[in-house]
């Protein structure tokens, strides 16, 4: 299953440059990310760097609106917080072991 998720995220990352300048397509991509990020955080920590790359590409698109930038910043923070929580859990596990 992980290879499927990675493949889909890779495809999405490749599509992002094609939506450059298209506010509607950027909105659709953000909507998709908003839907899948919680599941990815819970199940697939190792694919979150793909999500970070997609978020960065969308944030750099000049057609991305201020509202979309705010949504992307919130998603970026959600991913960062998940990484931090995973790192703390790993540290705690190492300390306990």
pLDDT digits (tens, 9 = 90+) for 6-35: 888 888 888 888 888 899 989 998 998 898
What pLDDT score was predicted for residue 59? 94
Domain ranges of the chain: 2-96
Write out the DSSP string of 16-83.
Answer: GGGGTT-HHHHHHHHHHHHHHHHHHHHH-GGGHHHHHHHHHHHHT-TT--HHHHHHHHHHHHHHHHHH
What pLDDT score was predicted for residue 1? 56
Two structure tokens written together for 40: 């990815």
pLDDT over threshold 70, residue 97: no
Q: What are phi and psi of 62, to 5 degrees?
A: -60, -20
What pLDDT score was predicted for residue 18? 87
C-alpha distances in angstroms, 77 versus 33, 45, 72, 73? Answer: 13, 15, 9, 6
């Amino acid at each position: 299953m992980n290879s499927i998720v990675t493949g889909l995220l890779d495809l999405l990352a490749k599509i992002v440059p094609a939506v450059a300048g298209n506010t509607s397509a950027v909105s659709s991509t953000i909507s998709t990310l908003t839907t899948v990020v919680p599941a990815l955080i819970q199940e697939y920590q190792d694919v979150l760097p793909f999500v970070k790359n997609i978020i960065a590409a969308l944030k750099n698109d000049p057609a991305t609106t201020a509202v979309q930038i705010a949504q992307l910043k919130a998603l970026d923070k959600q991913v960062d917080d998940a990484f931090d929580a995973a790192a703390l859990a790993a540290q705690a596990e190492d300390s306990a072991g």
